A and B are shown apart, each in its own frame.
Chain A
Amino acid sequence: MKIVVLVKQVPDTYEDRKIDLSSGLLDRDASDIVPDEINERALESALRYKDGQKATEIVVLTMGPDSATKTLRKMLSMGADSAIHIVDDALAASDMVQTARVLAAAIQRGGFDLVLAGNESTDGRGGVVPAMVAEILGLPLLPSLDALELEAGSVSGTCSIDGGSLSVRAPLPAVVSVTERSAEARFPNFKGIMMAKRKPVETMDRASLDLGTAAVAASVVGSATKRPARAAGTKIIDDGTAAQELAGFLASNRLI
């Protein structure tokens, strides 16, 4: 079994994240850049299968600037076997279609049985790249699985939808995306960190992928505005009458 895990580096959600108001794009210098937690869960799902099936090969794949190497090294130290890093200034500010085309082209080069991804990144939150990759590759997608069961020949799992959940199954090869409810990621151990230094990281640029030259549709960001900081309102210390005061506040705002 060969599993490709898609990863992305994102600004840390434990800090303020910023957008460059002139370009409408992420200000990468404003926050710490970390592997998206959701990708670590996707990798964890692959690693759990590999724990039982040692012959499994796990490749992590990212498109991103030079600094994304750090994210790949973390994934390798968790237990992935090798990494592919697509890095090209011409790909900066790619929209989701462009990103999916690049990822799909890289996936196709190496062969695979399963592509695993997070269901949505914590920065863009678009949530459509896995579906686009699946469509380009002509494969089924099991979207937003809370847990997945991988067998020779098929993958299955449960996804939550409004009003309930679905049990779904697809033949391999397939694309699967996982949610925050999926496998809790392991921490890299010392041995893993040492071994990661020797694991192969292949870098590629746009030209080394077969993408064609035809113009494609793109989603473009036109403007960005920062929401005015929310001003703190009334803060009272309860002296036994606070609940009454709050009820009065809610009533005067027609909230009760």
Chain B
Amino acid sequence: MANILVLIETSSTGGIKASAPGLIGAAAQLGTPVAVVAAAPGTGAAVAGELGRLGAAHVYVAEGEDAGRILAQPQLVALTAAVSAYAPAAVLISNSTESREVAGRLAIRTGGAVAADAVNVRSEDGRIVAVHSVFGGDYTTESWVRDGLTIITIRPGSIQERAAAATAELTVAPLAAADFPAAIIEQVHEAGADTGRPALRGATKVVSGGRGLGSKDNFVLVEQLADALGAAVGASRAAVDAGYVPQSYQVGQTGVAVSPQLYVALGISGAIQHRAGMQTSKTIVAINKDEDSPIFEVADFGIVGDVFTVVPQLIEAINAHQLTAAH
């Protein structure tokens, strides 16, 4: 089977980020997963065991002082070396802020091209095909790379498949020096106090609030329902613009695109830009006092009513159900 390289993202403390299982899972659909990591000196071996459990057959670690200190170059240099060593049929990279830079540069450096923001991959007649969900899920397109290395960026949280655990064969190599002026990481800021809620991107349940909540204080209602459901919290652009929550909560065309099992929209009218970020959700529930809100056009279950009345009752009913189920 052909080798498929996967770029492993690591945190500032060297831990493996949450994108790894999906990337390795996708690689296993196409061939033999080879995990590539840029790591600080002496830390590579520590990650090999976990990457093997995630399904990597080989782990290639490039160790050097630049890892974690310089943006993108260590990963680029490590991947370029691994492309020479493993002659892969494809390289899979998370479509995240830090990693997609590596994808773009790798394409230029190796004479490849990028199939961007794939939500699935498959192998067909010896060709690797990337599947994309575009215009907010209105269309599904397929693409592939011709005349060069296939590089695919994968939308975080989109791949459900997981690879069978393997015993990874570890290769540790020195990280080659940077070869263009560097973007320096001056400081890493860890996210603020952990709310204990799942991250919006990749969450299986999402509860979002809109302008209908009326104020920042009232937005707590959205959080309460989210906690009752074990869901992540999102918001419409209108709620973000009104200052109820930070922009990182925004679901939509210009925010995070989510595709959870359950999406609950509270006080959200459902402007086309919002729907572009959530309409591929498996089940959509909407509660809004305006009967004519476009959100009801895509809702599997819609309630025309006051969120301040319905949501507390709903939380009570969910808690009651969970108590019954527990007995």
Contact = CB atoms under 8 A, between A and B. Distances in A.
B318 A233 contact: no
Contacts of A166: 71, 98, 185, 187-189
B49 interface: no
A256 interface: yes
A221 B190 contact: no
B65 to A, nearest CB: 17
Interface in A81-110: 95-97, 100
Given A140-B183, A233-B301, A255-B262, A131 B147 contact: no
Q: Is the interface of B mostly helix, strand, loop or mixed?
A: mixed
Most B CB contacts (10 A, CB to CB) among A164, A165, A242 go to A242
21 contacts: A13-B273, A24-B141, A128-B153, A129-B104, A131-B104, A140-B182, A143-B97, A143-B98, A162-B18, A162-B156, A165-B188, A167-B185, A167-B187, A180-B247, A216-B113, A217-B145, A220-B145, A224-B142, A237-B291, A243-B310, A256-B318
Interface in B266-308: 271-273, 276, 279-280, 283-285, 291, 296-306
Interface stretch (A49-57, A61-69, A169-177, A189-197): A169-177
B302 A233 contact: yes
Contact of B116 (A127, A156, A181, A246): A127
Contacts of A37: 254
Contact of B135 (A17, A142, A163): A17
A78 B308 CA distance: 44
A224 B189 contact: no
A135 B105 contact: yes
A143 to B, nearest CB: 5
Nearest to A158: B189
A227 B137 contact: yes
Leading 3 A-B pairs by shortest Cβ distance? A217-B148, A238-B305, A131-B104
Interface of B: 9, 11-12, 17-19, 71-72, 95-98, 100-105, 107-109, 111-117, 129, 134-135, 137-149, 153, 156, 180-191, 199, 201, 205, 229, 247-248, 253-255, 261-262, 271-273, 276, 279-280, 283-285, 291, 296-306, 309-311, 313-314, 316-318, 320-322
B111 A220 contact: no
Nearest to B143: A221
B114 A96 contact: yes
A248 to B, nearest CB: 8
Given A37-B254, A167-B187, A235-B296, A135 B143 contact: no
A230 B254 contact: no
B314 to A, nearest CB: 4
Contact of B104 (A128, A140, A163): A128
Nearest to A243: B313
A226 interface: yes
A112 to B, nearest CB: 15
Contact of A160 (B97, B297, B314, B317): B97
B171 to A, nearest CB: 26
Given A128-B101, A167-B187, A247-B321, 10 more contacts: A13-B272, A24-B142, A125-B116, A127-B116, A127-B117, A127-B153, A142-B71, A143-B97, A232-B297, A243-B313
B105 to A, nearest CB: 4
Contact of A162 (B71, B115, B201, B279): B201
A219 B299 contact: no
A253 B285 CA distance: 12
Contacts of A14: 271-273
A206 B310 CA distance: 60
Contacts of A170: 181-184
A159 B99 CA distance: 13
A136 B314 CA distance: 55
Given A131-B101, A171-B181, A180-B247, A162 B17 contact: yes
Given A126-B116, A217-B111, A230-B298, A13 B141 contact: no
A235 B135 contact: no
A67 B157 CA distance: 37
A223 interface: yes
Given A141-B183, A243-B314, A165 B104 contact: no
B114 A128 contact: yes
A223 to B, nearest CB: 5
A207 interface: no
B141 A236 contact: no
A98 B199 CA distance: 35
B146 A218 contact: yes
A212 interface: no
Contact of B112 (A159, A217, A246, A253): A217
A187 B182 CA distance: 35
Contact of B191 (A24, A164, A256): A164
A16 B149 CA distance: 34
B107 A132 contact: yes
Contacts of A119: 97
Contact of A19 (B141, B186, B189, B273): B141
A152 interface: no
B149 to A, nearest CB: 7
B97 A227 contact: no
